[in-house]
Structure formats: C-alpha cells, structure tokens
Amino acid sequence: MLTRLDKLIAASGRFSRSEAREAIRAGRVTADGAVLTRPEEKVDEGALIAVDGDALRTDALRCFMLDKPAGILTAARDARQPTVLDLVPEEYRRLGLQPVGRLDKDTTGLLLLTNDGALAHRVISPKSGVVKTYLATTDGDTDGSDAAAFAAGLTLADGTRCLSAALEPLGGGQCLVRVQEGKYHQVKRMLAARGRRVLELRRLAIGALELDPALGPGKMRELSSNEIELIFALSHSL
C-alpha cells in the first residue's frame, strides 16, 4: 500500500507532520536508500524509511512494555500526581499511547502501553482469560492450604467470587500469584481473605510475556509481534 512520505514519518511518533516535511525538503530522508525530497511523494508502507541515517518504525499501531515504579499512577493524566505516561520518552509522545489495564499506585512491574485499542481490549477482556503473574511480599508465610483455597476460587470479604487462581508459596513471606481476571485490588484482597496483608506487589508477567529484567524502573521498550502473541499464550490455563 502506498502512503504519503510525510505521513509515514509522522507515524513513527518521533516527528510531527510539519517536522517530517522540513526533513524531507532538506534531503535528510531516504526510502530504501534513495533520497526523497517531496513530502507528498507516495511510498510503499513496507519501505525502510530513515531520517539522518536513522531507520524509523513507521507502522501506526505499537505496543511497549514498561517497568512501572512505585508511586506512579496508572492513568493518562492527573493534575497533581505523576502518571505512567509521564515516563514515556519524548520520541514516543506523539504515538497516543495508553496504559492497558492498571496497576495500583504502589504496585510495580510489567505494564503494557499501546495505541492499539483492539489489542488493549483483547488483553483486558474477561473472555480472553489472560493470566497475570505477581510476586507478593506479605506479613507472613503462605502455605498449601492457601494454595488450595486459591485453586478452588476464593470468596472475598464483600462476597465477590473469584475464578480459580494459583498461589505458590516461596517462603520468607513471599509467594507467586497467578490470576486470570482483573478485579479491583484483586491480589491484595485475595491474600487478605487468607489473613495475609500485602507489603509489596510486583507484576512479573502477562501471559508468557515476562518483564525484561534489563529495563529497570521507569524504563520501557517496544514489543515484537512474537512477544505480543506471548501475552495470550497461557490464557484460561488456571
């Protein structure tokens, strides 16, 4: 499919449409190695576009993983507190990224950011049964009876019934928790139903997609198409 060159460059999120036109007219843009100087020129969407020799991603729909730090809201904007979108590097600010689901303000770890509404809906839809894995640090050890209660499907303090989940005691006040739904404060409330208070909570994985340990708090990177498919690899497996 052919698309205007300036539109393709703007789709990378690194340039506005006017900045793209300026770069093209200045001879700074190549498509498959050929210098192009007309912003309106139509090029194949699969062409390798580079500005100043730096190759661009020009597909419009993108997905990233973020290592969310504590103290940051999972929201698009807030007048008084920092949000996860404040962590997005300047080069990606024009992509229109939004968080997929939410992590509590004090919860850390894997959070997806995307501008693909269909993908976001698929991830958070209860019908998808996407499994999320958390490392919980609690005020005491969990045991086999807690694991059995999670597997059977807990009833929370307010009467809410949870689907089957998995709990793996690790000792030292830590456990792995895997859930296949996204109720409000679910992991904390499930552990509270077993008499345990959560001191720290970190999301390690969504489906078979694990948080990249090389990222570090507040850092993000783009996902490949294969990594995106990993999100759904363990659906309905609990």
CB 100 within 8 A of CB 209: no
Say yes or no to pLDDT of 124 above 80.
yes
Residues forming the active site: 104
Q: Where are the domains positioned within the chain? A: 2-55, 63-126+208-230, 132-206
- pLDDT, tens digit (0-9, with 9 covering 90-100), for 188-202: 999 999 999 999 999
Contacts of 189 (CB under 8 A, 6+ apart): 156, 157, 160, 183
pLDDT band at 121 (very low <50, low <70, confident <90, very high): very high
What torsion do the CA atoms of 16, 17, 19, 20 make, to the nearest 10 degrees?
120
pTM to 2 decimal places = 0.81
Question: CATH number of 2-55: 3.10.290.10, 2.40.128.110, 3.10.20.90, 3.40.190.10?
Answer: 3.10.290.10
Question: Within a 10 A sphere around the Cβ of 201, how many other Cβ atoms?
Answer: 22
Architecture category of domain 63-126+208-230 in CATH: 2-Layer Sandwich (3.30)
Q: Which residue, among 236, 203, 234, 235, has the nearest Cα to 65 in the 3D structure?
A: 203
Backbone angles phi, psi at 33, to 5 degrees: 90, -10
Average pLDDT over residues 175-180: 97
Side-chain-side CA neighbours of 126 within 13 Å: the count stands at 5
CA-to-CA separations, 128 to 2, 53, 100, 148, 173, in angstroms, rounded? 34, 41, 14, 24, 31
The yes-or-no answer to whether 2-55 and 132-206 have a common fold is no
CB 223 within 8 A of CB 210: no
Say yes or no to pLDDT of 57 above 80.
no
β-strands 209-210, 166-171: how paired?
unpaired
Least confident of 44-48, 55-59, 141-145, 173-177: 55-59
- pLDDT, tens digit (0-9, with 9 covering 90-100), for 1-40: 788 999 888 877 778 889 999 999 999 999 989 999 999 9
What is the rounded CA–CA span in Å between residue 181 and residue 179? 6
- pLDDT, tens digit (0-9, with 9 covering 90-100), for 62-99: 899 999 999 999 998 888 999 999 999 988 888 889 99
- pLDDT, tens digit (0-9, with 9 covering 90-100), for 102-115: 999 999 999 999 99
Superfamily the domain 132-206 falls into: Alpha-L RNA-binding motif (3.30.70.1560)
- pLDDT, tens digit (0-9, with 9 covering 90-100), for 211-228: 999 999 999 999 998 999
Cα 226 from chain centroid? 15
Task: Give the Cα-Cα-Cα angle 151, 157, 158 (nearest 5 degrees).
Answer: 115
CA-to-CA separations, 108 to 46, 134, 148, 182, 207, in angstroms, rounded? 37, 10, 26, 16, 17
| Summary mean pLDDT of the chain | 93
